[in-house]
Amino acid sequence: MYQLMVSFMGVYFSGQGAGQMFSFASSFTKATQAANYYFWLSELEPTIQETDSNKEKGPAKDCHSYDFKNVQFSYPLAPDNRVLKGVSLTIERGEFVAFIGASGCGKSTMISLLERFYDPTSGSIIIDSAASLTSINPLLYRSNIALVQQEPTLFPGSIRENISLGIDISVSETVSDSVIEEACRGANAWDFICSMPDGLNTQSGASGSQLSGGQRQRIAIARALVRKPNVILLDEATSALDTESERVIQASLMEAASTGDRITIAVAHRLSTVREANRIFVFYNGRIVEAGTHSELIEKDGMYAKMCEAQRLDGDP
Ligand SMILES: Nc1ncnc2c1ncn2[C@@H]1O[C@H](COP(=O)(O)OP(=O)(O)OP(=O)(O)O)[C@@H](O)[C@H]1O
Ligand SMILES: [Mg+2]
């Protein structure tokens, strides 16, 4: 009887334990894959990085101007598809510049070049009319820049944490609420954050799933503004917003641009977004076909005028 009980219990419980363990069998393979991916990722050598020769070379403090000289570009994975076919333009400090054009004509590519995610295939980008962008330290350069992407990424965590991520601080420090509030007001996000029961502590969920598209965009803009950047790049940053909210954000961006010498570069499909821009560059098929202010371009009666016409809703004048 004793032997029966011992062997029965032994087989029973070890079987149960083994069953529990093997229910995680699929996780073993996932964990192996994830670990391999992580090791692969950490071994990658970025082509654009801080090196001994460019370590000290940063852009001049709060002075930025860009000079694109016949910039051509194709993505490394698709070298035959020339995305930019000779773009030349200058952007002065304090300017609000807009890139517009049909989908796929290379606007986001221009933004990637300005962020230095890629270097031009040929031609050059000169900043501060002195240094080529390829010669300076990407870390120092990017510390002056803020980007709001076409589809902004939010991280799991509270709204406060998401906005604080815009500032380069160590883990132990926290960003004061007044700084966050100022950035949120600039992005017209403060009112909706206050209306939530948990305020800044509201959880944003996995990739911001608890928030609406427009709220996500405004938090992304606040995260960009909290850096107090010299250059702010907005790639369709207000596309999910109603015109009124967009106008408020625009006004605060314009104000910041005129007081500090901040360069604002906006990409937009909705032309009302860029109406007030100092200069509008119209892209077509990887080239700039028109440039000027809203009224100049309307007078010219070219591509921009046609696009404006196509976006009018009220029919005949
Ligand atoms: N990572 C990539 N690798 C290869 N080709 C790319 C890559 N990203 C974009 N392209 C190609 O570059 C071209 C320009 O893309 P880009 O994203 O700059 O367009 P866009 O003007 O921003 O368009 P949209 O208004 O739709 O955002 C497209 O034809 C696209 O196929
Ligand atoms: Mg784009």
Q: Which CATH superfamily is domain 155-227 in?
A: P-loop containing nucleotide triphosphate hydrolases (3.40.50.300)
Which atom number of ligand 1 is nearest to the Cα of residue 102? 25
Cα of 118 from ligand 2 centre, angstroms: 15
Cα of 114 from ligand 2 centre, angstroms: 14
Angle between helices 243-259 and 213-225 (to 10 degrees): 10
Q: What is this structure's pTM?
A: 0.82
Angle between helices 243-259 and 177-186 (to 10 degrees): 120
Q: Which CATH superfamily is domain 56-144+229-317 in?
A: P-loop containing nucleotide triphosphate hydrolases (3.40.50.300)
Is the predicted pLDDT of residue 259 greater than 70, yes or no? no
Fold agreement between 56-144+229-317 and 155-227 = yes
Within 8 A by CB and 6+ apart from 121, the residues are: 72, 73, 74, 82
pLDDT tier at 19 (50, 70, 90 boundaries)? very high
Per-residue confidence (pLDDT) for residue 42, from 0 to 100: 93
Domain limits, the chain = 56-144+229-317, 155-227
Cβ proximity of 263 and 230 under 8 Å? yes
- For residues 274-291, give the mean pLDDT: 88
Encode pLDDT of 174-194 as tens digits.
Answer: 778 888 888 888 888 888 888
Pocket residue to mutate for ligand 1, from 105, 112, 151, most atoms within 8 A of Cβ: 105
138-173 exposure pattern, b = at least 16 Cβ within 10 A, e = fewer = beebbebbbbbbeebebeeebbbbbbbbbeeeeeee
Per-residue confidence (pLDDT) for residue 262, from 0 to 100: 84
Which atom number of ligand 1 is nearest to the Cα of residue 106? 18
**Residue carrying structure tokens 């007044």:** 178
Per-residue confidence (pLDDT) for residue 141, from 0 to 100: 87
Answer with the residue of higher pLDDT: 274 or 121.
121
| Smallest CA separation from ligand 1 atom 20, residue | 104
Cα of 234 from ligand 2 centre, angstroms: 10
Is the predicted pLDDT of residue 78 greater than 70, yes or no? yes
Of all ligands present, the nearest one to the C-alpha of 281 is: 1
| Least confident window among 25-29, 127-131, 132-136, 313-317 | 313-317
Per-residue confidence (pLDDT) for residue 166, from 0 to 100: 86
Closest CA to 65 of 91, 43, 40, 42: 91
Per-residue confidence (pLDDT) for residue 62, from 0 to 100: 64
Per-residue confidence (pLDDT) for residue 149, from 0 to 100: 86
Encode pLDDT of 86-131 as tens digits.
Answer: 889 999 888 889 999 888 888 999 999 999 999 999 998 998 888 8
Closest CA to 235 of 120, 114, 151: 151
Is the predicted pLDDT of residue 161 greater than 60, yes or no? yes
Distance CA 178, CA 207 (A): 25
Report the mean per-residue pLDDT for the chain. 86
Cβ proximity of 243 and 272 under 8 Å? yes
The H or E element that residue 97 is part of is strand 96-101
Encode pLDDT of 192-242 as tens digits.
Answer: 888 888 888 888 888 878 888 888 888 888 898 888 888 889 888 888 788
Pocket residue to mutate for ligand 1, from 109, 115, 150, 235, most atoms within 8 A of Cβ: 109
